Amino acid sequence: MWIFWIAAIIVFAILEAATVNMVSVWFVAGALAALIIQLLGGVVWLQITVFFVVSAILLAGLRPFVKKYVTPKKTATNADMALGQEAYVTETIDNLRGTGAVKLDGKVWTARSVQDAVLPEGTLVKVVKLEGVKLYVEPASVAAAL
């Protein structure tokens, strides 16, 4: 039976290394505890019980802590504040030609139309989406109608 627990430890460790989401590390510890019980002469039902109990306790007790302190947090940037804002087109937006710019808060951004419409210079637009340093916009009157 000790070969089974060693195999379980290896499989769960490989699974954890492949996912890196703190999914199966708890089962590695449970299998290790069951292996120890087996080496001390414990019966099979006790080994299985220890495996499930240790895994469940670690999962319930440590996962929230690990999620809170180990998982990197998404940091909002000033660029995120552009979403929903209105801007003026400073260079005609034409997705087919790959041209277009808007001025927002004193900064000029590359812009594209979400509806593939040509938006002439001076049009008031609303920022709908941000990808990299490119704003995706639609006419402000369309945004207000929604």
Do 65 and 89 sit in the same domain of this protein? no
Last residue of a domain, one of 69, 100, 122: 69
User: Count of domains in the chain?
Assistant: 2
Cβ density class 26-50: b for 16+ within 10 Å, e for less: bbbbbbbbbbebbeeebeeeebeeb
What pLDDT, on a 0 to 100 scale, did the predictor assign at position 107?
86
Task: Render pLDDT for 107-122 as a digit per residue (tens, 0 to 9).
Answer: 898 999 998 889 999 9
The model's pTM: 0.48
**Residue of higher predicted confidence among 23 and 115:** 115
Range of the domain at 134: 78-145
Do 14 and 60 sit in the same domain of this protein? yes
Task: Render pLDDT for 34-54 as a digit per residue (tens, 0 to 9).
Answer: 999 999 999 999 999 999 999
Last residue of a domain, one of 26, 51, 69: 69
Do 46 and 9 sit in the same domain of this protein? yes
